[in-house]
Amino acid sequence: GDSVTQMEGPVTLSEEAFLTINCTYTATGYPSLFWYVQYPGEGLQLLLKATKADDKGSNKGFEATYRKETTSFHLEKGSVQVSDSAVYFCALRYNFGNEKLTFGTGTRLTIIP
Amino acid sequence: DGGITQSPKYLFRKEGQNVTLSCEQNLNHDAMYWYRQDPGQGLRLIYYSQIVNDFQKGDIAEGYSVSREKKESFPLTVTSAQKNPTAFYLCASSIAQGKASGRGSYNEQFFGPGTRLTVL
């Protein structure tokens, strides 16, 4: 079945460091891919998405490119801030049929000043 | 402001008791979902509903029940049959498939703030 694999956390970085959180997927079709962010004590918020191969999603300085050849959707940010501390989830979903989102296990990110 | 509300934020129950978690949305969304979040695991789908009076089991429906009598409400009951009910529960909603504007691409799921259930 479909699955999403994220790099193990937790990840701790200094402010202004470069961030990469790896995400790879296994899917039988051609899903859309997403990154969600969960701040402490809150629900999930959609951070960015890409609906087809080679699309780049971007938001709040974060970027991720849908790479069909490597089945990856790595999250990157050039200069992180303390306010980026959160748990990040990679997920996939098909555009038609089942509405279900399949999530990775989440990566906890802590940014220290 | 439109959004999704879940109540209560924290819930404590004794083992063997049924408990119902509330989820309400005023976004006029047709589809609603319940997820369970456990430490070190991603979110897992419990139940979802695409229209009123209809719902489908997700990946981990055993020990749970839902109802969808109104478009705005999708309560989740955690029954005594759920063997490990302590978890963080998240409700979400979205425009139903086929109603999105443009090319019918992804209908974003909006999440509520969650309810943390602890069974003592």
> Which pLDDT belongs to residue B103?
41
Nearest CA in chain A to B35: A101
Residue B43 in contact with partner chain A when CB distance is under 8 A: yes
Token digits of residue B64: 């749970």
CA distance B100 to B87: 32
Nearest of B20, B44, B53 to residue A100 by alpha carbon: B44
Kindly determine whether residue A44 and residue B108, on different chains, have CB atoms separated by under 8 Å: no
Could you read off the pLDDT of A37-92 as tens digits, one per residue? 999 888 899 999 998 899 999 999 999 999 999 999 999 999 999 999 999 999 99
Residue B31 in contact with partner chain A when CB distance is under 8 A: yes
- Closest CA of chain B from A80, distance in Å: 23
B120 touches B15 (CB < 8 A): yes
CA distance B103 to B81: 43
- Closest CA of chain B from A5, distance in Å: 10
Nearest CA in chain A to B114: A43
Residue B40: its chain A contacts at CB < 8 A? Answer: 105-106
CA distance B86 to B63: 12
Inter-CA distances, A80 with A20, A30, A46, A103, B20, Å: 10, 31, 18, 23, 40
A59 touches A34 (CB < 8 A): no
CA quadruple A86, A92, A95, A99: dihedral sign: negative
Could you read off the pLDDT of B19-63 as tens digits, one per residue? 999 999 999 998 999 999 998 778 999 999 989 999 999 999 999
